[in-house]
Each structure stands twice: as C-alpha cells, then as structure tokens.
Amino acid sequence: MTGATGYIGGAVASELRHHGHEVTALVRPESEARHLRDLGVVILAGDLDALPSFGDALNDYDTYIHTAFAPQLDRTAIDTLASRGGHFIYTSGVWSCGHTTTADETTPPAPLPISAWRVENEKLVLQSPSRTVIRPGCVYGGKQSLLAGWFAAVDQNQPVEIAGDGSNRWAMIELHDLAQCYVAIAEQHAPGIVHATDDTHETVITCARALAANVTVKTSSAEEARAKFGDAFAEALLVDQIVSSNITRERLGWTPKRTFINSINEQWVEWRESQSTAR
C-alpha cells in the first residue's frame, strides 16, 4: 500500500488487517506509523519517488493499492507497482465524472479541471485487465477531511461556511464503507472502474444543517467561492453530482451502510475521538 498514513489509506489498512490480510505499507521515514505497527502492518520506509529503487522487494504481493494523493508522483507509482504481476488498485475520485446527475461506471469521464490529471492516469491503469480504478465520492466520517471545517465550526459555535448557496449535491461515501469497498476489490480482484458512492442525495446545505439543531450556515456567491478557493477547487465545491454505484454494488456484493444524514451521531463520536487523540 501507498498512503497508509493518510485519511483514506489508514482506514483501508485497518480494514484489510481486520479481514486477516497481511499488509505492507510504504511510509515516509519521518511519518508517524505507530498505529500501523500496532495493527501488525509491515513498514517499508521510503518515499514514493524512491519506489523504483526497491527493485525485487516489491515483487510477489497479491495486490498493490495506491491511495497516496501525489499528483506529481502518480505515474511513478503506476509504472512501478502496476507491472509487478499482482492486482493493482488506483485511487481516483468522482470529480472525474464532472457535472452530472446520471453518471455510472460506464459513463465516459468528463472531469472537472481539478481532476483532469487523474483521468489521464485512469486511462493508463485501465490498459490492463488486472487493474482497478476506484472513484470514491466525497469522503466523510472518522477525523473528517473535506468536511473537517464543518465539524470544527459547529464545535466552536461558529457558522458553517459553504461554497455557493448549497443547492447543489455532492456524491459522497462514508470512510468505513469506502474501506470495505477496497477490501472487496482486493479479495475479488475485481477489474475496471468501481464507484464507491452511497445514497446521500440531499443538498449540501441540508447536510450542513443536519450537523446540529442550532447550526448556522453561511452561504456565498459563486464568485466569492472562486475568490476564496481558486477557480478549480471552487468548481469542485460548487458541482452538482449524483454518481451511481449500482453496478459496483452488484458486482462486488458491497452495500454502503451509511449516508451522511443517517450517520451524524456516529460521525460526531468519531470526530471528537480523533480530536482527543490529536491532543
């Protein structure tokens, strides 16, 4: 695995170990990896750009999972790991689908500008039938990532700020459900494009208001969002997306258990635990 100390990769590593799989993780020497060691993960110390130098030490694994977010080094990971003979899983995202409310796993990509580089790598990965491209939705749960600011704001009795008027929808997936999707792919060596999205179809402002009974939501214009976040990221935050994962669910026998709205209580528990651990 790459990215096992990250938000998604850490959950995937934990879920793989929970299912009894042996896991080796490439970890930067300066990264904190105690929790991985506690899980029984074997640590391979090094950076992504050093992958080619590991030579035969990377051979003979059943599956290679690339979860690290590294736009400049994705090709290094693909070129080095995808040719090793095992099944290769590449992490992309639903922003590869662009502005859409009808996309499924068979829909040609029409990426948002922020994700155009990933679509080029998707094409490279899919040249072989022993490889998978997984497109997670906007991930929530655990210590949070994209939505960490929402939880922090509510916890401090501050307004939740969203880009635009919040009438758009995000394709979403809960962290633990996503990790279970990775495990299903790895165990079944399922090739091709996989969508990891749940049934959260509420608007962004509805999701924000669900955080607490007294939450205040601060909206903005699209122009204000672009000025604050830059054009590319603002377009991603303003996108209106419904991305189906029905084909994936049928293929893998995987069904996400949570939606953003129905898991608010669990999310608050996990977020507060993560804040306590961080202190």
**Assigned token pair, 164:** 């635009």
DSSP β-ladder status, 241-243 and 217-218: unpaired
Number of separate domains in the chain: 1
Specify if 270 maps to a domain.
yes
Specify if 155 maps to a domain.
yes
Specify if 132 maps to a domain.
yes
**Assigned token pair, 117:** 């580089």
Specify if 18 maps to a domain.
no
pLDDT mean over 68-89: 92
CATH code where residue 243 lies: 3.40.50.720
Environment class of residue 35 by beta-carbon count within 10 Å: exposed (0-12), middle (13-18) or buried (19+)?
Answer: middle
Specify if 252 maps to a domain.
yes
Digit-coded pLDDT (tens) for 153-171: 999 999 999 999 999 999 9
Specify if 56 maps to a domain.
no
Q: How confident is the model at residue 279 (pLDDT cuts 50, 70, 90)?
A: low
Residue-averaged pLDDT of the chain:
95
Digit-coded pLDDT (tens) for 169-189: 999 999 999 999 999 999 999
Minimal CA–CA distance to 205: which of 255, 160, 263? 160
Sheet with 131-136, edge to edge strand ranges: 63-66, 87-91, 131-136, 192-196
Specify if 37 maps to a domain.
no
pLDDT mean over 88-99: 97
Specify if 129 maps to a domain.
yes
Please give the residue range of the domain that contains residue 115: 86-278
- pLDDT, residue 252, reads 98
pLDDT mean over 107-121: 95
